[in-house]
Amino acid sequence: MIRTRSVVAILGSALFAHAATAQGRAELPVIPQPASARPFEGSWPVPAGLPVEVAYQDDRTLSGWGVRVRLVPADSGNGPESYTLTVAPGAVTITAPRAAGRFYALTTLQQLVDAAKAADPAEPRIGSVTIADAPRFRYRGLHLDVARHFQPVSVVKRYIDLMARYKLNTFHWHLTDDQGWRLAITKYPRLTEVGSCRKETMVAKNFSPYVGDGTPHCGFYTQDEVREVVAYAAARHITVMPEIEMPGHAVAALTAYPELGCTPGPFEVMTTWGVSDDIFCPTERTIAFLQDVLTEVLALFPSPLIHIGGDEAPKVRWDASPVAQEIIRREGLKDSHELQSWFVKRMDRWLSERGRRLVGWDEILEGGLAPGATVMSWRGTAGGLQAARLGRDVIMTPGPPLYLDHYQGDARFEPLAIGGFSPLETVYAYEPIPDGLTPEQQRRILGAQGNVWTEYLATPAALEYMAYPRALALAEVTWSPRAARDWAGFQRRLPNALRQLDRLRVAYRLPTVTGLERDVTTLEPRIAIPLAATWPGATVRYTLDGTGPTATSPAYTRPIEITTTFDGTTLTARQFTSDGRAGPIRAMVVRRTVFRERDDVQSSALVLGLRMALIRAAVRSTVGIDTLPVARRAVVAGVTVPVEDEDERVKPFAAVFSGYLEVPEDAMYEFSLTSDDGSTLWIGDTKVVDNDGLHGAEERTGMIALRTGPHPITVRYIQGGGGAVLRLRVRTGTGAWRDVPASWLTHRP
């Protein structure tokens, strides 16, 4: 007798309840979720000897296990990566127009097989289903920086293997930077003889005073190794896009060939992180050098896209260089920004003549975009919007949420990271096509990419912890139809995917307990906090003294009742799996408060805007910046970075915004303060949000109960160099976040 099951019954009746969708899809235990899945009667018994890695078997081997593959001309208009996979009682049939579609069908089958074996190891079966699938975006990328911390070929191959399992199709290989040059170039051997080694690496974030680890960090790839990686990726239908940074992030190259700088040097491969003023000088000698390098790059990488960086290139050296200024005069350029555009256009033309396309970070928009360039939008979505409106191709990779080296939980309990905050749910919620584009402009969005920068990721395990499971969310964002994306469904499917990663010994980050996303400030004397595990069968354990829960801490059985105090109670929780693994810790502070009464000042005595004092100083904290000399004063409409010039924004400074916040009603207000680097929000003498210190773009929130009317407000901000971000938002209850309205911000004239 043949037993029949629903296609989703392999995960049990709980999942079956969620199987149907309004669009006629069934929810499969697969990431990314296919475009269409229609179950029918019957099931396919998984052969006992079916190879563990189905996707890498040839058609003859697959046929022996009842899996038939046909490559036929595409007639559905779904593109070369599309496929149809039919699982029936007698056989599995795959139809695809190209080898890529065949491969993706087999990766889907692989996940179905794994789920079936997990559900019933003795007699695994897959419910009958017809899957018609194709990617939403043709560019689905994952990036790896090997310049800051070098990784051997074996690690790079494993990285590519994991990408392939989830239908990511472009590996962005960041090969050069200030801290190391990782690609052997035959014509210029000193690039690796000298530029691939730094004498040591800064310990943690010890910029000032500087502390180094005393250990040289070296490594590079031979050209044979690069060919090996490129071929390995191609077999998995992944294109390797190399990045050779220019004109900035060039210190490792300048150390090897100092004559390419605008100053004589000497230079030293950087041991700290950040942005250097020393960049390539835009001379004909430099351009010839870089084109020589790219000649060898093109011979190694068949990718149609070649990334040349173009980001974070301070113009200090160019502004002071007679050579650079002469080029500006000769070419009729306005300034150094147009000089960079001229430089990028030279490279764009050179690559176009050789049948390749230039890709650059969104700074390449400044001074005019090269005709053939594709823009990689990383500083939010503005660059992508601008490029799409210009009719140029765009790859979206804003950080956050797509910087996968950012923190994914409370920094107090996470491994050291560069900063930022990009939790799994934020990655999953990301929509690559921004609002405000016409249908034609939307088609310019090629796709999206997750970036893994490695300033603080020295080991393969650290890479995997930061990339997974966030790369799974990215895979679904870039492959699945927008209508098929469902956070609750993704959470249901995630444990099965993570069990598959367990089999591969991937050092992913376990999901966190839900219910502790933000601190709570309340007017109530008692409050109950509900928590929930996110791993099947896990036990949630908690403490109320701020310490990390252990396997012997109290187990959560019902909402935790807390008697609120003005000093606050710290609730921490984590989940423990049935096999004894401990998940990440989450914590919240529950604090009682009372309404803050409005200030005595009359609203009629106030005018719109906040006072802003700009301070030119390099500081590590907002504490005491009010006492420093002020370089400029102004009245501003809102709390944003008070320096517009790109070259000035990357230099250290501080700012103090002060005045009044006039709220329209008695309410509990929640404020969000996002900054790079540090910031604090004070209302009266209460520090509502503490986001202080030197760090990347990070968001912190805080709550305060305010009576209607004006309240003194002070926002302090510091910029330590590099990226600059400052944003203040507000909401009441569970409403939507919005920028603090300009009409709420006032000051005494």
| pLDDT 10s digits, 559-589 | 999 999 999 999 999 999 998 899 999 999 9
> By three-state DSSP, how is residue 453 classified?
coil
Helix (H) or strand (E) holding 501: helix 487-503
Q: CA-CA distance, 532 to 209, in Å (whole number)?
A: 43
| Statement: residue 69 has pLDDT above 90 | no
**Domain pair 520-592 / 603-747, same fold:** no
Which residues, in sequence order, are CB contacts of 216 under 8 Å at separation 6+?
Answer: 197, 198, 199, 200
What is the band of 76 on the pLDDT scale with cuts at 50, 70, 90? low
Q: Given this model, what pLDDT does residue 517 score?
A: 86
Q: Given this model, what pLDDT does residue 497 score?
A: 95
| pLDDT 10s digits, 286-332 | 999 999 999 999 999 999 999 999 999 999 999 999 999 999 999 99
Count how many residues are written for the chain.
Answer: 749
Helix (H) or strand (E) holding 462: helix 460-467
| Statement: residue 4 has pLDDT above 50 | no
Q: State the distance between the two ends of the chain, measured CA to CA, in whole angstroms.
A: 87
What is the band of 13 on the pLDDT scale with cuts at 50, 70, 90? very low
Q: CA-CA distance, 576 to 555, in Å (whole number)?
A: 10
Closest Cα to residue 53, out of 171, 169, 170, 162?
162
Which residues, in sequence order, are CB contacts of 718 under 8 Å at separation 6+?
Answer: 619, 620, 621, 622, 625, 652, 653, 654, 677, 678, 679, 692, 694
Written as one letter, the residue type at 609 is G
Angle of CA points 70, 108, 123, to nearest 5°: 100
DSSP string, 296-364: HHHHH---SEEEEE--S---HHHHH-HHHHHHHHHHT--SHHHHHHHHHHHHHHHHHHTT-EEEEEGGG
Neighbouring CB atoms inside 10 A of 92's CB total 24
What is the band of 651 on the pLDDT scale with cuts at 50, 70, 90? confident
Helix (H) or strand (E) holding 118: helix 99-119
Angstrom distances, CA of residue 16 to CA of 89, 108, 248, 271: 20, 19, 53, 54
Closest Cα to residue 691, out of 704, 677, 712?
677
| pLDDT 10s digits, 520-550 | 999 999 999 999 999 889 999 999 999 999 9
- Structural domain boundaries of the chain? 9-133, 139-479, 520-592, 603-747
What top-level class would CATH report for the domain 9-133? alpha beta
Closest Cα to residue 718, out of 642, 621, 638?
621
Give mean pLDDT, residues 410-419: 91
Phi, psi of 64 (to 5 degrees): -65, -20
Which residues, in sequence order, are CB contacts of 223 under 8 Å at separation 6+?
Answer: 184, 186, 296, 300
Closest Cα to residue 421, out of 102, 711, 709, 672?
672
Q: CA-CA distance, 35 to 567, in Å (whole number)?
A: 51
| Statement: residue 147 has pLDDT above 60 | yes
Tokens of 602: 């009359």
Q: Compute, in degrees rounded to 10, the torsion defined by CA atoms 48, 52, 54, 56.
A: -140
> By three-state DSSP, how is residue 388 classified?
helix
Architecture of the domain made up of 603-747: Sandwich (2.60)
| pLDDT 10s digits, 160-211 | 999 999 999 999 999 999 999 999 999 999 999 999 999 999 999 999 899 9
CATH 3.30.70.260, applies to 139-479: no
| pLDDT 10s digits, 329-340 | 999 999 999 999
Q: What is the DSSP letter of 56?
A: G
Q: CA-CA distance, 290 to 300, in Å (whole number)?
A: 15
Angstrom distances, CA of residue 491 to CA of 15, 287, 464: 11, 50, 19
Average pLDDT taken over every residue of the chain: 93
Is the distance from CB of 428 to CB of 477 less than 8 angstroms?
Answer: yes
Is the distance from CB of 196 to CB of 219 less than 8 angstroms?
Answer: yes
The structure tokens 């990511």 sit at: 168
Q: Given this model, what pLDDT does residue 590 score?
A: 95
Is the distance from CB of 489 to CB of 18 less than 8 angstroms?
Answer: yes
| Statement: residue 638 has pLDDT above 50 | yes
Angstrom distances, CA of residue 251 to CA of 195, 246, 259, 306: 8, 10, 12, 21
The structure tokens 């030279």 sit at: 346
Which residues, in sequence order, are CB contacts of 96 under 8 Å at separation 6+?
Answer: 69, 70, 71, 72, 82, 83, 84, 102, 104, 105
Residue 170, Cα to own-chain centre: how many angstroms?
A: 15
| Statement: residue 59 has pLDDT above 50 | yes
Is the distance from CB of 200 to CB of 217 less than 8 angstroms?
Answer: yes
| Statement: residue 74 has pLDDT above 90 | no
The structure tokens 């392999």 sit at: 10
Tokens of 643: 């320096």
So which residues are the catalytic ones? 177, 249, 312
| pLDDT 10s digits, 226-258 | 999 999 999 999 999 999 999 999 999 999 999
What top-level class would CATH report for the domain 520-592? mainly beta
Written as one letter, the residue type at 714 is T
Which pTM does this prediction carry? 0.86
Say if strands 83-87 and 92-96 run parallel, antiparallel, or are unpaired. antiparallel
What is the band of 691 on the pLDDT scale with cuts at 50, 70, 90? very high
